[in-house]
Structures are given as C-alpha cells and as structure tokens.
Structure 1
Amino acid sequence: MAATPINVSDKFIHPGITVVLFVPTIADPAAPTRVELDAGTDLTEEVIAAGGWQLNSNRVSYNPLGSKFTPNIAGRQSVDDSSLTLPQDLAGDDVRSVLPQGTTGYIVIMHGGDVAASPMDVWPVEVSSLGKPVLPEGSEIASIAVQFAIPSEPAESVAIPA
C-alpha cells in the first residue's frame, strides 16, 4: 500500500495577500473575535519589511551510557528578534502614533489574507524600540524599524473568525 500523499498546496507570495494588524486587546489569543480584530489597526499597506516572527526550538542532546550515538530531543522554544519596518512621514504622522515605545498588544499576521477559517498567527508584543536609520546615499525611503519583545508564546495557526 502506498503512503498517503500530502495535499498539494495553493502556492502564493506574501505581497498583495498577507495582512498584518496591530490589535491592542485580545481576551483569548487562541480565539480572537472579529470585533477584537476589527478594533485593531491594519498596518498592511505600510509594512515594507518584516523580520523574525517564527518560533525556534533548541535541541537537547543526551549521552546514554549503552550507546555511542548521541540522540537529542526537542527543547525549549524561543523567538528570533521580531520587527516591522514602515515608512517615516515628514510630519511624523506614521507608525509612531500607533506604536510608541512601550506599547503592548498583539501583532496578527494573516499569511493568506483575511479569509474566514484560514490560519493566522497571533503574537503578544511590546514595542521595545523605534529605530530611525539615516541613509545619506538616498537609495531607500526613510523608515522606522519597530522592534518588538515577545513576552509570551504566540498562538499559531488560529482560525480567522468570520
């Protein structure tokens, strides 16, 4: 009997599909409501770069006396430094008004768009810094790198409410 094949995925690229929200309050990150999501701020049109936003697992090796092989098991999870980069506005009317340093809430990433029952990731966050690099060569737009601390485990692959 042949192994069951994996479902063939409906492939996509993030631009034009993925939605990124900042939501100030979510009672249960494993089951956000549509009212909670709609009370957030849609950052999608301004996000020009994103970094981190994935869990990593350490591996713990151990040395059983009865073998020369050193096996390992899954260990603690951690998250890479996570950030969103958005453009600066000449008058300062930009992400600084939504996410000043110290702001807490949730970054919600709907990888396949805001489609009911599709999966999204809900990241608890605290804004740890707002970096504003100066680029004298003029090859990029002026931007703000919003750095986030992740104070607790994110809720991954949560169904988007209708």
Structure 2
Amino acid sequence: MSTTQQRFMRRGVTKIYFLDTIAAATNIPTRVELTGGTDLSGAVADISGWSLANSPIDTPDLGSTLTTSIPGEDKADSSTLTFYEDQLSEKIETLLTKDVVGFVVILRKGDIQNTPPSKSMDIFPVRVASRAPSYSTSSDPAKFVVTFSISGEPLLDQAVPAAS
C-alpha cells in the first residue's frame, strides 16, 4: 500500500509561541490564549531539544542470557531556543529572563485550522534556566541562547485550536 505525503520543511511553516499562562487545568491553550501569546517564530535562529526520551530499565532473569527491558522514566531533553538579537529592542530578552515560567507552544505543521483539527501542537510547561549572549568575532549575526527547564509533563500531538 502506497501513502501519498505532502512533505514540507519546518522553516517558514513551524510556529513557536510563548504563553505566560494557560487557564485550563489541561494546559491546552484556547485560540485566544495562543494568539495573545508572543510569536517567537521570526526571531528564532536555531532550536534544540523539545523532545522526550525514555530510560529503559533492564530486567534480566536466570531463564535467558538475553537482558530484556521495560519502559522506565521519561525525561525531557535539554531544550534551547537561539534568537537573533535586535539592536533596537529588548522585547524577547525582557520576556525570557531567568526564572520566568510559562509555556512554549510549538505548532509543528504551522497554524493549520483544518476540520478535523491538525494534531500537531506540542505544549511544554517551562521555566527559563538561563539566557546568555553568543559572542563571535566572525561575520555572524548577533544571537543569544535561552535554555529552558521543562517543568511539567509536556502535552504532545494536541489539536491546533480553531479560530473563534
């Protein structure tokens, strides 16, 4: 059986928002909360992490020489966003200072408002661990790196909220 895909590149499609709060106990934002957040997409130079990894637990037994395993704890990878510095504004630096808490919301396939809804929204409860400039003497644009601690269980593959 053959599957037809519409492949895409993330640049120019994927959206990244920072939300101060989400009202619902489920931590799933509404359309109003999403559009009221800060769209960071146009300032992001690089992204790293933003995924979960499982640490399997070995379960050897005397009946076999094969060491089997069971799923263990989940752990969020170290997660960073690298931003271009703005010579005239400190909007992002002010928003993402050390110890600020909020949510990084990633719309992997963009802001798709289909019926049925695209299940391509990932929500990460976060706390800013650090923000540091990236110094360089080369011809690179000025950048800074924000490192985030994932402070709660991320919600992956959630439906992108429809417009009101």
Q: State whether structure 2 residue 21 is matched by structure 1 residue 25.
A: yes
Q: How does 1:63-74 map to 2 (within 5 A)?
A: 63-74=60-71
Look up the SS of the partner of 2:11 in the other structure. Answer: coil
Aligned partner of 1:146 in structure 2 is 146
Look up the SS of the partner of 1:135 in the other structure. Answer: coil
Q: For residues 139 and 29 of structure 1, do their structure 2 counterparts lie closer, same or farther at Cα, with a shift above 3 Å needed?
A: farther
C-alpha distance in 1 between matches for 2:38 and 2:30: 15
Aligned partner of 1:159 in structure 2 is 159
Cα deviations by residue, 1:92-121 (Å, 9 ceiling, x for unpaired): 524102211111100000010011211210
Q: Structure 2, unaligned stretches of length 5 or more?
A: none
- Amino acid of the residue matched to residue 127 of structure 2? E
C-alpha distance in 1 between matches for 2:55 and 2:4: 30
The alignment of Structure 1 onto Structure 2 pairs a total of residues equal to 157
Cα deviations by residue, 1:5-43 (Å, 9 ceiling, x for unpaired): 584432111011000000111124553211111220000
Q: In percent, how many aligned pairs have the same letter?
A: 35
Look up the SS of the partner of 1:108 in the other structure. Answer: strand
Q: Is the contact between residue 87 and residue 94 of structure 1 (CA under 8 Å) also seen in structure 2?
A: no
C-alpha distance in 2 between matches for 1:139 and 1:95: 23
Aligned partner of 2:44 in structure 1 is 47
TM-score (norm 2): 0.89
**RMSD of aligned C-alpha atoms?**
1.6
Which sits farther off after the overlay, 20-29 or 87-96? 87-96
C-alpha distance in 2 between matches for 1:80 and 1:70: 26
